[in-house]
Each structure stands twice: as C-alpha cells, then as structure tokens.
C-alpha cells in the first residue's frame, strides 16, 4: 500500500505535504551527523593538520568554561558529536576528565593558570588530576562517558537504518537487529537495569534520539518482567521504529506537537499508520514490531488510536512501548518536566490508560531518584542525579552551591552526604540552572559497566 492512500489531501501554510519519507526533514543536527561514516578518515587528516599547526597542549586541570579545545581522540572514543568543542559547562569538563587522555589541544581562549601545588593542594586534588583506575570517582566518570558514547552510537545507527529502509530494506533490518542485540547486551551488564542521564547537547529532541531513549526504557521494563530475549529484541526494534512515520509529516507539525489545530492533530495521528506501513512491507519486520509501530498510542481503556483497541487486545510489548513513549515525551518534549512530574502526569492524567503492573514496573526501573531529578543535599548544596546505583539512596550527582558555584561530581556515600528532598526547577537561581543544565531535556541510556 502506498503512503498516499493513507494521507488525505491537506495543505499547511500553502505548502503541500510530501508523503514520501523525506530525510532532508531530519533535524539539522542529524543532517550533520550523517557524516559519521567518514569521520574516521577525517580524524587522521585532522591529526596531521594539528601537528602542522602546532596547537598548544594543555593539561586537563587548566580547562575552564569558554575554551575551545580539540580532543586527541578518535570518534569512537569521543562522547561528543565532534572533537572540536567550545566548553559551555562544568559538566562537559568533568566528562573530558573521564576520557583517559592527559591533555587537549587549545584552539581559542585563555586556560586557567598553572596551579601551584603545595603538598596539601596536591593531596586534595589528586583524585581529580590523576585518577586511579580503581577509584570510585574515575569509574563513575568512565561509566558516564561510555554511556554517552553508546547512546550516540544508538542514535546514529537508528538514523542510518531509517535512511536504508527505502532502498535497502534487508540492510536496514540487519543493522537494526545488530543494534537491538547490542542494546540488550548493554542492558544485561548489570544484574538489574541501571540508567544514566545522557545529553547530546541538542536544543530539541530528534525523532531518533527520542526513539533510542524509549528503547532503553522499554527494554528495562521488559527485563524487569523477565521477558525472553526474542521479546526484548522486538521491544528494541519496535521502539526504534515506532515514530519513523513522523518523518513523512511537515517540520511545522513536528515542531509544534502541543499547539496543533484539530485538523493538524488528525493529520499527526496518521504517523502511526505511516510507521506501520514502512515496517510492514513484504519481508520486513516481525509482526510484533509492526504492531508496536501501529498501536503504540493505543490505551487499555479504548481511548487511544488508530483503532481504539482495549485491554488484552493490545499486545504486552506494544503496551510497554506505549508507556515508555508517553513517559519519554513528558521528560523530553515541548512540555518537558522532571521525572517526578512525568510520573505524576501518568498517574493523574493517564490513569486507566496503562496497566497498573506496567506503571509499577516503570517506577521500579526508574528508582527512587531517576536520572535528571533535581535534589537538595544534606550539606545545603543542590544537584542533578546523573546515574542510578545499587544503593538507590546514593546515586551519582552533579552538584553545585545554590548560587551555581563549585560545580562538580558528588559521591554521596564517600562524602557522607544524603539527599534531603527533591526540588523543582523554579526554585533554582539562573546560575544554578546553568551549572546543572537543569532545564535540558532528559534522555536515558543503560549505565555502562566499567572495570
């Protein structure tokens, strides 16, 4: 069936809708990422250029916000989109300190002065400047960096499968299945799923970034329910492709999901049918994946779309993705809120739409303090949870003082700190919001197991 048979005649701002999968409609950041294939060869060229230019090398303890630096790493070892970075936050600096490199190339800006290490200052800062491979601090930084890398890889591979689907469906399926199995491997690195906050620095969450985060949540729920590997694989694939139909719609619709007219909303709802058609063509995906693509907006009370299914007429895997999708929209969409706000929305506004068992499982997976939660600590400082841990009361926290100063990783257990309360974004000063990146959209990946 052609997509044209599903799409009614419609004009938005005097511009007819293209009904083919238009990859030029991907976010500009994703278009830039399409060059990922050739980055390896470009790294070699860039290294040669750097050698010729004799860019100065500076140690990591001289980094500060505002510098433009180049990382001496290949793209596989880089948690950012590109090696050339203008440092905009202390969190970026902390991530670079966990990369294992001893220096960066300075392109622009004035670095911090060389510190005059007395015996005391050297002792106080040794865990930051020369981290020991077995220290908790170094392990945490390494886990954050690796989780970020893996999320970037998932987003890039998802985008690549989208581009292959039209002209090389078998190649798309092969790549997607490899990615799904890779994500399952990452899921199983810990006895129970642990989540890490990941940030690609985008001002708006892309379709592929949202889909990757939904896959992480759905797989975490699936594992908690002890689903078999084959079901987990279908969960991952269905999550990665559930919103591909959005790319058949105009940019103007996707950019304003929460301020649509009635006619626009009707058109937007057709994305589930478009997604289904794209994955359900002959010799493509498993029927469980196809059902997720079509029915991920169905609700067990029958209020969903496109077919108004109820209860057990909606397969379990589809129900899982529907719940993960709604939660992720609440923490990363236009109406972005905290994890607590998102869970509150599900409880108050979606009561009866999702199975109670699945709601409870999602809450269990997220833990007492889900990544992205803003908290006040027992020493009066504030922070944002970065990673869940075996001890739910002592997650890894990126913290600062209430005025935004002294930003850095806080290890609650070793510092004898505890979380006093969850706080809201509105209670933070402007400088604290900037230091914590408290207003950034939230996405998740599995916490990497490191040695």
- Rounded to the nearest integer, the mean pLDDT of the chain is 80
What SS3 state is found at 444? strand
Q: Is the pLDDT of residue 125 over 90?
A: no
Phi/psi at 219 (nearest 5 deg)?
Answer: -65, -40
| Across 309-338, average pLDDT | 90
pLDDT grade for 313, boundaries at 50, 70 and 90: very high
The mean per-residue pLDDT over the stretch 215-225 comes to 97
Asked if the model's pLDDT at residue 296 lies above 60, the reply is: yes
- Helix-helix angle 229-241:271-279, to 10 degrees: 130
Mean pLDDT of 150-169: 91
Find how far residue 430's CA is from the centre of its chain: 24
- pLDDT bracket for residue 20 (50, 70, 90): very low
What pLDDT, on a 0 to 100 scale, did the predictor assign at position 358?
97
The predicted pLDDT at position 235 comes to: 98
Give pTM, 2 decimals.
0.76
Residue of 220, 229, 239, 321 lying closest to 279 (CA atoms): 239
Q: What is the DSSP string of 314-350?
A: S-HHHHHHHHHHHHHHHHHSTT---HHHHHHHHHHHS
Write down the pLDDT at residue 283.
60
Output 305 or 94, whichever has higher pLDDT: 305
Instruction: Please determine, for residue 8, whether its predicted confidence score (pLDDT) is greater than 80.
Output: no
Residue 263: what pLDDT? 86
The continuous run of DSSP H or E covering 383 comes out as: strand 382-387
pLDDT at 302 over 80: yes
If you average pLDDT over residues 49-54, what whole number do you get?
A: 49
* Mean pLDDT, residues 162-167 taken together: 89
Query: Any idea what DSSP says for residue 301?
Result: B
Residue where the block lists tokens 């970026």: 92
Tokens representing residue 279 in the block: 């994955």
pLDDT for position 106 = 85
More confident residue, 62 or 117: 62
Asked which of 35-49, 299-313, 371-385 is least confident by mean pLDDT, the reply is 35-49
According to the model, what pLDDT value does residue 441 have?
A: 85
Q: What is the DSSP string of 221-264?
A: HHHHTT--HHHHHHHHHHHHHTTGGGGGS-HHHHTTTTS--HHH
Dihedral, CA of residue 59, residue 61, residue 64 and residue 70, to nearest 10: 30
Look up the CATH number of domain 137-366: 1.10.3210.10
Strand ranges in 5-144 using DSSP code E only, listed in sequence order: 11-12, 15-16, 57-59, 68-70, 84-86, 103-108
Determine the average pLDDT of the residues in 376-399.
Answer: 89
According to the model, what pLDDT value does residue 104 have? 85
Q: What is the pLDDT of residue 333?
A: 63
Confidence class for position 258, pLDDT limits 50, 70, 90: low
CB 369 within 8 A of CB 395: yes
pLDDT of 38 over the 90 cut: no
- Average pLDDT of the segment spanning 191-213: 85
Tokens standing for 82? 């590109």
Q: Ranked by mean pLDDT, which of 156-160, 178-182, 363-367 comes out on top?
A: 178-182
pLDDT at 202 over 70: no
The more confidently predicted of residues 123 and 450 is: 450
List of residues 6+ apart from 365 with CB closer than 8 A? 193, 195, 217, 220, 221, 224
Confidence of residue 264 (pLDDT cuts 50, 70, 90): confident
d(CA 244, CA 359): 25
Reply yes or no on whether the pLDDT at 204 is more than 60: yes
Burial of 345 (0-12, 13-18, 19+ CB in 10 A): middle
Q: Percent of the chain scored above 90 by pLDDT?
A: 46
Other beta carbons less than 10 A from residue 366's beta carbon: 24
Q: Measured between alpha carbons, how far is 406 from 435 in angstroms, rounded to an integer?
A: 9
The pLDDT of residue 278 is: 92
Domain-wise residue ranges, the chain:
36-113, 137-366, 374-446
Residue 126: which pLDDT band, with cuts at 50, 70 and 90?
A: very low
Nearest-5° angle of CA 98, CA 100, CA 102? Answer: 110
pLDDT for 257: 60
Bigger pLDDT: 279 vs 17: 279
Please give the average per-residue pLDDT across 353-359, as a whole number. Answer: 96
């Amino acid at each position: 069936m052609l997509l044209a048979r599903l799409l009614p005649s419609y004009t938005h701002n005097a511009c007819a809708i293209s009904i083919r999968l238009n990859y030029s409609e991907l976010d500009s950041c994703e278009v830039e990422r399409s060059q990922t294939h050739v980055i390896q060869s470009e790294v070699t060229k860039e290294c040669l250029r750097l050698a010729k230019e004799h860019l100065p090398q500076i140690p990591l303890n001289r980094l500060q916000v505002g510098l433009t630096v180049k990382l001496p790493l290949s793209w596989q070892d880089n948690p950012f989109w590109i090696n050339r970075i203008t440092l905009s936050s202390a969190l970026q600096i902390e991530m670079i300190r966990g990369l294992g490199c001893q220096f960066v190339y300075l392109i622009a800006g004035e670095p911090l002065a060389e510190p005059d290490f007395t015996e005391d200052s050297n002792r106080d800062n040794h865990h930051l400047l020369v981290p020991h491979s077995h220290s908790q601090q170094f392990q945490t930084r390494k886990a954050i960096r690796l989780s970020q890398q893996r999320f970037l890889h998932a987003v890039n591979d998802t985008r690549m499968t989208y581009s292959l689907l039209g002209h090389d469906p078998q190649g798309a399926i092969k790549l997607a299945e490899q990615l799904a199995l890779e994500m399952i491997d990452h899921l199983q690195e810990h006895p129970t799923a642990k989540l890490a906050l990941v940030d690609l620095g985008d001002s708006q969450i892309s379709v592929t970034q949202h889909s990757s985060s939904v896959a992480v949540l759905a797989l975490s729920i699936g594992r908690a329910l002890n689903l078999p590997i084959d079901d987990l694989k279908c969960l991952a694939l269905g999550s990665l492709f559930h919103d591909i139909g959005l790319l058949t719609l105009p940019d103007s619709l996707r950019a304003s999901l929460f301020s649509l007219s009635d006619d626009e909303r009707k058109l937007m709802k057709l994305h589930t049918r478009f997604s289904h058609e794209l994955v359900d063509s002959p010799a493509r995906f498993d029927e469980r994946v196809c059902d997720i693509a079509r029915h991920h907006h169905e609700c067990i009370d029958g209020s969903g779309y496109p077919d108004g299914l109820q209860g057990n007429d909606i397969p379990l895997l589809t129900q899982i993705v529907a719940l993960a999708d709604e939660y992720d929209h609440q923490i990363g969409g236009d109406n972005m809120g905290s994890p607590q706000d998102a869970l509150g929305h599900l409880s108050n506004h979606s009561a009866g739409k999702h199975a109670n068992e699945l709601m409870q499982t999602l809450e269990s997976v997220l833990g007492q303090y889900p990544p992205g939660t803003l908290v006040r600590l027992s020493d009066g400082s504030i922070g944002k949870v970065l990673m869940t841990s075996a001890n739910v009361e002592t997650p890894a926290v990126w913290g600062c003082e209430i005025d935004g100063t002294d930003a850095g990783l806080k290890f609650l257990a070793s510092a004898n700190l505890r979380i006093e309360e969850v706080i809201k974004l509105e209670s933070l000063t402007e400088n604290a919001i900037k230091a914590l990146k408290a207003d950034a959209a939230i996405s998740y990946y599995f916490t990497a197991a490191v040695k």
